[in-house]
Chains A and B, each alone.
With several copies, the nearest count.
Chain A
């Protein structure tokens, strides 16, 4: 109980710091919008409207948004040794991971919702199975934060941090991104069975990584 309360406190602190930048979420959304714009401009409109390609772009953009948001969150913590202040609290080490995952997941759900609607409208995509699409996107979004946060924590205090994180994170994210892309594309084009089985895989990913994170992250922080 107390552990959950502490996780909630860390998440609330994170969200508050995030909200102080009134345009934090706006920023991430604009980022996705710019990426969608950019890619369709360089790739060409026909290709960009393909259900596979559109989903791939969306998930790549979301992966980057996650990495950026996570790094920003830890950058803030490293200034003035705030992270150390948190870790020095009794139970601080254990609450860190859960709190960050929770906060980041909430931010990303918002970003994905707005960014997804934007992509649908901008690319004028037909949606065959809206409910399946929502389920897939939600599970895909929940699968992203744990692994990115684990990587950021591992890379913390290493010098090449900003560049190291994508390297550590992206290969591990590849399976999830492929699953999310296939699932999204299945939901867009009406393949209900495909969408649900990818969603199941995504759910498994997020459970596995969350458990791993809760177990090993406390040990990885000094």
Chain B
């Protein structure tokens, strides 16, 4: 098998949930640059990202990883009770990094004023913005973003595209699963088309 310099890969990976095959012998190699995951509802995009992040047990096959992963799923994954800032500080410290970038990142994402309120009191879009600020606050090599445009307004979507473009230019591996947003195709280097558990790379 090949070696991967930076990024993540799945080899012959099969995922079974609820005794149903959700991903079928998938081979995916993600390297630096933007990889887009496309596919209709229920085709297995979320499962693929979770498999890359190691959040789902593989029934067969294996997963390789070079560098740390930042996975943001359909939900914002912030702990209720804590504020956005406290959540991001926890993540950054846990990775052994510093917390200096956090304030700036949250402010840039437009939640500067709300960053000390408990996250459950934020609107859906504000919560999404706070979780996307992690991309700047943690500066991790491999980014896995599942439908990150959901709930974002126009300004937020623009910022997210810039963020993705910048991460790509920095040589980070970015995997984005999303519907629509054809403008992302211009930034992408690779495509993974999912159909009912079968992946085709392009």
A124 beta carbon closer than 8 Å to chain B: no
Within 8 A of B (CB), among A66-96: 76-77, 79-82, 84-92, 95
Are B56 and A17 in touch, CB under 8 angstroms?
no
Bound form: Cα–Cα A174–B92 in Å: 41
Size band of the A side of the interface? 20 to 34
Q: A20 touches which one: B55, B82, B91, B96 (CB < 8 A)?
A: B82
Are A89 and B55 in touch, CB under 8 angstroms?
no
Are B90 and A9 in touch, CB under 8 angstroms?
yes
Give a binary string over B111-136; 1 marks a CB under 8 Å from any A CB, 0 the rest: 00000001110000001000000000
B119, closest chain A residue (CB): A80
Are A13 and B80 in touch, CB under 8 angstroms?
no
Q: A88 touches which one: B55, B78, B86, B120 (CB < 8 A)?
A: B55
B156 beta carbon closer than 8 Å to chain A: no
Are A82 and B79 in touch, CB under 8 angstroms?
yes
Are A13 and B56 in touch, CB under 8 angstroms?
no
Give a binary string over A173-203; 1 marks a CB under 8 Å from any B CB, 0 the rest: 0000000000000000000000000000000
Q: B77 touches which one: A9, A10, A17, A81 (CB < 8 A)?
A: A81
Are A222 and B57 in touch, CB under 8 angstroms?
yes
Residues of chain A with a CB closer than 8 A to B54's CB = 88
Are A16 and B55 in touch, CB under 8 angstroms?
no
Are A84 and B73 in touch, CB under 8 angstroms?
yes
A21, closest chain B residue (CB): B81
Residues of chain B with a CB closer than 8 A to A16's CB = 81-82, 86
B52, chain A: closest CB distance, angstroms: 10
| A84-B82 contact given A2-B96, A9-B90, A90-B68, CB 8 Å threshold | no
Bound form: Cα–Cα A92–B95 in Å: 9
Residues of chain A with a CB closer than 8 A to B118's CB = 20
Q: A76 touches which one: B56, B79, B93 (CB < 8 A)?
A: B79
Bound form: Cα–Cα A85–B73 in Å: 9
Residues of chain B with a CB closer than 8 A to A92's CB = 94
A219, closest chain B residue (CB): B57
Give a binary string over A40-83; 1 marks a CB under 8 Å from any B CB, 0 the rest: 00000000000000000000000000000000000011011110
| A84-B77 contact given A89-B95, A222-B57, CB 8 Å threshold | yes
Are A6 and B86 in touch, CB under 8 angstroms?
no
| A17-B79 contact given A84-B73, A90-B68, A222-B57, CB 8 Å threshold | yes
Are B69 and A88 in touch, CB under 8 angstroms?
yes
B71 beta carbon closer than 8 Å to chain A: yes
Are B55 and A87 in touch, CB under 8 angstroms?
yes
Are A76 and B81 in touch, CB under 8 angstroms?
yes
Bound form: Cα–Cα A10–B87 in Å: 11
A86, chain B: closest CB distance, angstroms: 8
Q: B82 touches which one: A2, A13, A88 (CB < 8 A)?
A: A13
Are A81 and B75 in touch, CB under 8 angstroms?
yes
Residues of chain A with a CB closer than 8 A to B119's CB = 80
Are A81 and B73 in touch, CB under 8 angstroms?
yes
B3, chain A: closest CB distance, angstroms: 20
Within 8 A of B (CB), among A1-46: 2, 6, 9-10, 13, 16-17, 20-21
Bound form: Cα–Cα A212–B74 in Å: 33
Are A85 and B96 in touch, CB under 8 angstroms?
no
Q: B71 touches which one: A2, A17, A88, A222 (CB < 8 A)?
A: A88
B151, chain A: closest CB distance, angstroms: 12
Bound form: Cα–Cα A16–B118 in Å: 12
| A89-B94 contact given A20-B118, A80-B75, A222-B56, CB 8 Å threshold | yes
Could you name 19 residue pairs across A and B whose Cβ atoms are closer than 8 Å? A9-B90, A10-B94, A17-B82, A20-B82, A20-B118, A80-B79, A80-B119, A82-B78, A85-B78, A85-B79, A85-B91, A88-B55, A88-B69, A88-B70, A88-B77, A89-B94, A90-B95, A91-B94, A222-B55
Q: Which 8 A-B pairs have the closest CB atoms?
A: A85-B77, A17-B81, A82-B79, A81-B75, A88-B71, A80-B75, A20-B81, A81-B77
